[in-house]
């Protein structure tokens, strides 16, 4: 590795750029939500949660949502999902687990919606 590339990876000094006081108490979640990380659906999900009375939730966002669980070779993403769900269950005892998929997901190129829906049914 050249000295030029070593210099390029040096991090700048840390600086506090934002301050916000968050609650310190551990909470009980109304739900653990697993969805695709596609931000186009954030607003719709928030509206859905509000209508269903879901105020506090753990949100696991990963590309293509639960697709790794539906694939035989889900691999590392499958493990990440399981660990995140397990941590939510252990720490926040959600009353329900909600799985979301969406149409035109980049994780499901050229895939009929019925296949995406099938992956959400565990």
Interface ranges with Zn ion (CB under 5 A): 36, 38, 105
> What are the b/e assignments for 73-110, b being 16+ CB within 10 Å?
ebeebbeebeebbeebeeebebeebbbbbbeebebbee
Nearer to Zn ion, 36 or 54 (CB): 36
Q: Least distance from C-beta 38 to Zn ion, angstroms? A: 4
For Zn ion, the closer CB: 11 or 76: 76
Q: Strand, coil or helix: what is 57?
A: strand
Nearest approach in angstroms of CB 78 to Zn ion is 16
**Rounded to whole angstroms, how far apart are CA atoms 99 and 46?**
14
Alpha helix segments (H runs only) across 9-71: 42-51, 67-70
Closer to Zn ion by Cβ: residue 38 or 80? 38
Q: How far is the CB of 29 from Zn ion (least distance, A)?
A: 23
Question: Could you tell me the smallest distance in angstroms from the CB atom of residue 66 to Zn ion?
Answer: 11
Q: How far is CA 93 from the centre of its chain?
A: 17
* CB nearer Zn ion, residue 16 or residue 40: 40
């Amino acid at each position: 590795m050249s000295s030029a590339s070593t210099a390029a990876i040096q991090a700048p000094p840390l600086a506090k750029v934002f301050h916000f006081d968050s609650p310190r108490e551990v909470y009980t979640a109304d739900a653990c939500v697993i969805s695709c990380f596609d931000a186009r659906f954030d607003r719709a999900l928030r509206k859905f949660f509000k209508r269903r009375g879901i105020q506090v939730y753990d949100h696991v966002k990963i590309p293509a949502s639960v697709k790794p669980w539906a694939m035989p070779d889900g691999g590392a993403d499958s493990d990440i999902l399981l660990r995140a769900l397990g941590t939510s269950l252990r720490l926040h005892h959600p009353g329900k687990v909600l799985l979301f998929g969406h149409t035109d997901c980049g994780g499901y190129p050229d895939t009929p919606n019925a296949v995406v829906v099938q992956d959400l049914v565990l």
